[in-house]
Structure 1
Amino acid sequence: MLHTFLANNREALISRCRIKVAHRPTRDASVQQLENGVPLFLGQLINTLRIEQSDRPADSVVVSGSAGGNAGRSEIGEAAAQHGHELLRLGYTVDQVVHDYGDLCQAITDLAHERDASFSIDEFRTLNRCLDNAIADAVTEFSYQRDFNLATEFAREEGERIGSFAHELRNFLHTANLAFAAAKAGNLPLFGATGAVLERSLAGLGKLIDHSIEDARIPAGDSAKWTLFSLSDFINETKHAANLAAQLRGCGFVVTSVDPHLAVSGNRDLLYSALGNLLQNAFKFTRPNTEVTLNAYAVADKILIEVKDYGGGLPAGKAEAMFLPFTQFGTDKSGLGLGLSIARRSVELNDGILSVRDIPGVGCVFTITLARHALMKK
């Protein structure tokens, strides 16, 4: 009988299946596979065949399900669904799910031929029914979980995209309000430095809205062109807006001199956004009566832009976690926790690196690293 043959050769069949798995590219037998895959299915198959040889053969559907793919719970179906779920979690494809059960079928056929074992037609029908139901349930669960994961990831990315847009929108609006309040309080003309900050903020709002419209029309790809621009001018442009934020926070703001011949090649708007987010983060967390320092200089073939604060340092082991979306560690939860995530993404889109160095008990230094370029001397 087939169930006796399977029971007597259970370990040999499992071993053959493991060998087949090991020979497939990028696939190893996992703990989950050993628990919910071939070994468990083989035991359920043996149990089904035994029941069908008893005086209550109809009870086998509880273990293996009925023929024809009719809906209904069964032990094989539940185990196969778990197996499909685990393979998806491990990063495998749907064809690899099917292969696992095909391996067992092939192993049974090969071993039966080698041992010259013969089985009845009804037993082979039961074997095929169990395999068919197991494959169907494993593939169904695999597909469901894959679609669920894709939908979840899409929702997460959409939430992050909307959050990033709102965050940047608020940044520009906040700077514009600061400039307007300063101009109003001091009765300042709009053609001066404060007026320039207001103008750049309004222009930034316009570009942000324009880019969001472009993204809606063209879902993928960044059409913005890179330009070569002066590092000194870029830092000075940032300086005026940052001075207003420093005054609001009641802290000092120090900007070191920049070599006028240094240049950066990239998307100026994205880099302006990145540096602006770093400065806002520094002003937000630096301690009262301290200062934030902005330093830009060249080392070998790199340009480094550093923002140093006196916020007391970072939580132990949390340096990289700070760059995750919607992550906040301080007591001030007024933001969305997207500033550093946006800054890193903006820098990386310019082939740069954004890193952080902790100074325990003092503060931290965020560094933008970009390729070094030079302006033509006039």
Structure 2
Amino acid sequence: MLHCFLAVHRDELIERCRSKASNSVGVVARATDEIDHGVPFFLDQLIKTLKVEQSAHPIDGLKVSGGSGGTTLGLSELGDIAAQHGRDLMHRGFTVEQVVHGYGDLCQSITDLAFERHEPVKVEEFRTLNRCLDNAIAMAVAEFNHQRDSLAAETHAKMHLMEIGFFAHELRNFLNTATLALVVITEENLSLSGATCAVLNRALIGMRALIDRSLTDVRMSAGLPIQHQLFDMADFIDELKLSSMLEAHVKKCRFIVQAVECGLMIEADRDLLLSAAGNLLQNAFKFTLPGTEVILSCFARGNRILIEVEDHGKGLLPAEIEKIFHPFAQTGSDRSGLGLGLAIARRCVEANKGVLSVRTKATSGCVFTIDLPRQISSN
């Protein structure tokens, strides 16, 4: 009988599965400890099912392995064990392909060994083997996917709560600073050109930048359609200049805007591009050294249009260059803000079929470049 054959050769079957796992290559390469984790338990349940079905009460075999077409968690011993197997493998870093191949290796090992030892397998026994494998794979994969989806949802929820927490924290700080400054200005009848007013301006600028970044992030995350429009880059740069002059004044640095060649046109989502360039300017004002300059320029290079924001800060180390575009990444000593500005800027640029890059200058500071396709006039 097959259950006797499996019981006698149990250790050999486990070793064959371990050998198959160690010899696997490519996407299905597996660690041999996966075999020790699942195969012995399944074999025991298979042997038990076959044994019960050869008894006076064969129907009791369904309580062990479940019926044809799958089983429900909690209704069979095999289903519960397979579900636990899938759960454990997911948390230990295995893939769903590795889960499936583990059971497949066992089926092949049983078939090969039975053929080699000339062990006759009855049709009913072979059907039971297939039913047990089918149920075990179904439950293991279902539980694996459930655990994976639950973990992904939990991670997403934590990230979302973190973003909300950071946003509320930063907004509260800016609001508190603005409130205190306004109270002092009102009670002391201070000049609107004094230092306290500058503090108020900085707080208001910070709140505006924080809200702008958050709104842009919401729009990008929601997958709202890109609103393409044709516009002149000279007007676009003038708008950036007007919105950034006050921030340059508050940061006590010079803001130089290079003249833009007439007729440079681009077709893009203007709001997203304004957000991207605005984030780069805010980053430049944040890190440029006091008394230095931030330079904004826009020019054509072949069939591309480049927007560059240059600062005179401490620059970036090679290992920091890619990291700064990750959400919540903050590499400098100034850790104010959420660390989302550059990540949002890159998403906005890429949504417009552009590329955002950065290079460190030989002297000091960085140059951030937005590289976009140029719209050639048909006139």
* TM category, shorter: 0.5 to 0.7
The Cα shift of 1:359 comes to 2.6
Deviations 1:61-109 (A, max 9, x none): xxxx96554579998765553235457x54x46xx74453144224413
Give the equivalent residue in structure 2 for 1:320. 322
Query: Secondary structure of 2:328's match?
Result: coil
Conserved? CA contact 2:86–2:99, under 8 Å: no
Conserved? CA contact 2:216–2:272, under 8 Å: no
Conserved? CA contact 2:65–2:77, under 8 Å: no
Determine if the alignment matches structure 1 residue 83 to structure 2 residue 89.
yes
Give the equivalent residue in structure 2 for 1:2. 6
Q: Show the 5 A alignment for 1:101-112.
A: 101-112=103-114
The Cα shift of 1:159 comes to 5.3
Conserved? CA contact 2:83–2:143, under 8 Å: no
The aligned amino acid for 2:338 is L
The aligned amino acid for 1:228 is L
Q: Which runs of 5+ in 1 are unaligned?
A: 53-64, 174-180, 187-197
The Cα shift of 1:220 comes to 5.0
From 34, 47, 70, the counterpart of 1:36: 34
Q: Show the 5 A alignment for 1:178-257.
A: 185=192, 221-257=223-259
Give the equivalent residue in structure 1 for 2:310. 308
Determine if the alignment matches structure 1 residue 297 to structure 2 residue 303.
no
The aligned amino acid for 1:283 is F
The Cα shift of 1:47 comes to 6.8
Conserved? CA contact 1:82–1:138, under 8 Å: no
The aligned amino acid for 1:112 is A
Give the equivalent residue in structure 2 for 1:189. none
From 275, 278, 281, the counterpart of 1:276: 278
Residues 9, 361 of structure 1: alpha-carbon distance in 2 compared, 3 angstrom cutoff: same
The Cα shift of 1:350 comes to 0.6
The aligned amino acid for 1:287 is L
Q: Show the 5 A alignment for 1:48-127.
A: 69-70=75-76, 78-85=84-91, 90=95, 92=96, 97-98=99-100, 100-118=102-120
Deviations 1:117-143 (A, max 9, x none): 147999989978975785466235303
Query: Secondary structure of 1:293's match?
Result: strand
The aligned amino acid for 2:88 is Q
Query: Secondary structure of 1:317's match?
Result: helix
State how far apart, in whole Å, the 1-side matches of 2:79 and 2:192 are: 74
Query: Secondary structure of 2:107's match?
Result: helix
Give the equivalent residue in structure 2 for 1:145. 147
Conserved? CA contact 1:347–1:368, under 8 Å: yes
The aligned amino acid for 1:244 is L
The Cα shift of 1:224 comes to 4.3
The aligned amino acid for 1:82 is D
Conserved? CA contact 2:45–2:78, under 8 Å: no
Deviations 1:302-341 (A, max 9, x none): 1111101111111440111111111212222221111111
Residues 166, 47 of structure 1: alpha-carbon distance in 2 compared, 3 angstrom cutoff: closer
The aligned amino acid for 2:313 is G
Q: Show the 5 A alignment for 1:343-358.
A: 343-358=345-360
The Cα shift of 1:157 comes to 6.8
Residues 17, 309 of structure 1: alpha-carbon distance in 2 compared, 3 angstrom cutoff: closer
Residues 67, 376 of structure 1: alpha-carbon distance in 2 compared, 3 angstrom cutoff: closer
Residues 127, 246 of structure 1: alpha-carbon distance in 2 compared, 3 angstrom cutoff: same
Give the equivalent residue in structure 1 for 2:59. none
Aligned length: 329
Q: TM-score, normalised by structure 2?
A: 0.68
The aligned amino acid for 1:100 is G
The aligned amino acid for 1:28 is V
State how far apart, in whole Å, the 2-side matches of 1:210 and 1:28 are: 38
Q: Which runs of 5+ in 2 are unaligned?
A: 50-62, 67-74, 176-184, 186-190, 194-203
Conserved? CA contact 2:22–2:29, under 8 Å: no
State how far apart, in whole Å, the 1-side matches of 2:121 and 2:343 are: 63
Give the equivalent residue in structure 1 for 2:52. none
State how far apart, in whole Å, the 2-side matches of 1:363 and 1:211 are: 27
Question: Bigger shift: 299-308 or 130-139?
Answer: 130-139
State how far apart, in whole Å, the 2-side matches of 1:332 and 1:17 are: 50
State how far apart, in whole Å, the 2-side matches of 1:355 and 1:160 are: 27
Conserved? CA contact 2:304–2:373, under 8 Å: yes
Computed over aligned residues only, the root mean square deviation of the Cα atoms, in angstroms, reads 4.9
Conserved? CA contact 1:83–1:138, under 8 Å: no
Conserved? CA contact 1:261–1:374, under 8 Å: no
